[in-house]
Amino acid sequence: MSELWCARNIDTLFSATQIQERVRELGRQITQDHAGRELVVVCVLRGAFVFMADLVRSIDLPITCEFIGISSYGNDTESSGVVRVTHDLAHSIEGKDVLVIEDIIDTGLSIDYLLRNLRLRGPRSVRTCSLLDKQGRRQVNCPVDYVGFTIPDHFVVGYGLDVAQKFRNLPFIGIYHA
């Protein structure tokens, strides 16, 4: 293991192998649930890009990939509750079946804002898939259709998740001790 990760005191929560197994299961489930349909998979930047890249390869359906950037965190670890779109979808989702891919749902403020924003664009359906779910910290009620792992209230990094934009490239998910 790299000295940098050890020095930063990051304890493994889910190994790369555990993540890959769960991602494959999610892909199979999504494939079954949407049999005969075409999906627009929307990656929420930046945290979901690693998860999305693996997940789409486990979905056996015709899909297109879209990216939307939202910002709800500064460089600290607390949600500001202020959400804005920093990068918008490239194509219309009107009449389409949409699957939103998130890295983690914490307070729920970001996904709640995003779902309201996307529904205004007239999609046929919108479902959500989040790799991680910190259920205990929810501030708004938001349905999540597919969850990789439910986790306790720890700040986690790796596999796309960052602290101050760092550690997104770790192949595992670890608990970050500041």
Within 8 A by CB and 6+ apart from 157, the residues are 10, 163, 166, 167, 168, 170, 173, 174, 176
Q: Which of 30, 40, 47, 108 binds Mg ion (CB under 5 A)?
A: 47
When asked if residue 105 is in the footprint of ligand IMP (CB under 6 A), the reply is yes
Q: Which of 102, 118, 133, 144 binds ligand IMP (CB under 6 A)?
A: 102
> Strands across the sheet with 173-176, in order?
10-14, 173-176, 156-157
> Strands across the sheet with 146-150, in order?
84-87, 63-71, 39-45, 97-105, 125-133, 146-150
Nearer to Mg ion, 90 or 164 (CB): 164
When asked if residue 133 is in the footprint of ligand IMP (CB under 6 A), the reply is no
When asked if residue 108 is in the footprint of Mg ion (CB under 5 A), the reply is no
Q: Establish whether 54 is a catalytic residue.
A: no
By CB under 6 A, the residues from 136 to 175 that bind ligand IMP are 155-157, 161-162
Q: Which residue type, as a one-letter code, is found at position 129?
A: C
Rg of the chain (C-alpha set): 16
When asked if residue 104 is in the footprint of ligand IMP (CB under 6 A), the reply is yes
| Catalytic machinery residues | 106
Give residues in contact with ligand IMP (CB under 6 A).
Answer: 47, 72-73, 79, 102-110, 155-157, 161-162
